[in-house]
Amino acid sequence: GAGVSQTPSNKVTEKGKYVELRCDPISGHTALYWYRQSLGQGPEFLIYFQGTGAADDSGLPNDRFFAVRPEGSVSTLKIQRTERGDSAVYLCASSPNRLGTAGGPYNEQFFGPGTRLTVL
Amino acid sequence: AQSVTQPDIHITVSEGASLELRCNYSYGATPYLFWYVQSPGQGLQLLLKYFSGDTLVQGIKGFEAEFKRSQSSFNLRKPSVHWSDAAEYFCAVGAEWEYGNKLVFGAGTILRVKS
């Protein structure tokens, strides 16, 4: 079946512009995650959705970053007033449910190919 | 808070040689531990995971990893490396749901394979 897809694959923008990055999770997956991977680093957590609601947005670096998932499927990560430091690969992952529960099953996160954002 | 350390930024091995990639984690409770591989332009692919039980876990592509609680380590191994294994490898720790439901990744180890 289809995996997690992300569009666009590449986005080049100018400092100060607004960008939207889209994630299409695997059908039926209730959990959706956004991570950011800067050059030479591992992915860093940004936000986690369970259904339509953001269950954990503790990784968003500042209020220029916002994400939505209005119907519990597709998610959009929105970045206002982009800065050069926002340049990175933005990864989306989805999972059948949350990561795990005490004593319960573990749900694997399936990652998309990422969107490479370059801010000039 | 959880953290993951991958001490080796780059490793080069000869094709056919054995491989060990190191991973140390910091987490107060029983962790979920993972190894992912990322090839250029590709998404992260799960190689293997440790959740509980047997501390030696087998994964795809001939990889295995051993969880050692006393050393807070989860090193990845492969007995004979193939040229196609050249990629970047990430170790990650996951927390139970009440701690955030996210994966915390190490900085990665780039594996080069020489013929």
Provide the pLDDT for residue A56: 87
Torsion of CA B97, B98, B100, B105, to 10 degrees: -60
SS3 B108: coil
CA atoms within 13 A on the CB side of B91: 30
Provide the pLDDT for residue B98: 53
In the predicted structure, residue B74 carries a pLDDT above the cut 60: yes
The two structure tokens encoding residue A95: 């999972």
Closest CA to A108 of B92, B23, B67, B74: B92
For chain A, first and last CA: distance in Å?
A: 37
The answer to whether the CB atoms of A56 and B101 lie below 8 A apart is yes
Q: Please, what sign has the CA dihedral across residues A2, B95, B70, B24?
A: positive
State mean pLDDT over A45-69. Answer: 93
Question: Of the given ranges (A2-11, A74-83, B35-44, B72-81), which has the lowest mean pLDDT?
Answer: B35-44
Report the gap between the CA of B79 and the closest CA in chain A (Å): 25
- How many C-beta atoms lie closer than 10 Å to residue B95's C-beta? 20
| Partner-chain residue, chosen from A42, A55, A102, that has the shortest CB–CB distance to B105 | A42
SS3 B115: coil
- Residue predicted with more confidence, B107 or A106: B107
The two structure tokens encoding residue B70: 């006393």
Provide the pLDDT for residue B90: 97
Cβ(A27)–Cβ(A4) under 8 Å? no
Q: What is the pLDDT of residues B61-71, one digit of tens each?
A: 999 999 999 99
| Partner-chain residue, chosen from B41, B51, B102, that has the shortest CB–CB distance to A48 | B102
Q: Is A45 on the interface with B (CB under 8 A)?
A: yes
d(CA A75, CA A55): 14
Provide the pLDDT for residue B99: 45
Q: What is the pLDDT of residues A52-63, one digit of tens each?
A: 988 889 899 999
Mutation for A interface: B89, B101, B105, most A CBs within 10 A: B101
Q: Is B104 on the interface with A (CB under 8 A)?
A: yes
User: Which residues, other chains included, contact A117 with Cβ-Cβ below 8 Å and sequence gap of 6+?
Assistant: A11, A13, A19, A21, A79, A82, A86, A87, A88, A89, A90
Provide the pLDDT for residue A100: 58
In the predicted structure, residue B94 carries a pLDDT above the cut 90: no
Cβ(A43)–Cβ(A84) under 8 Å? no
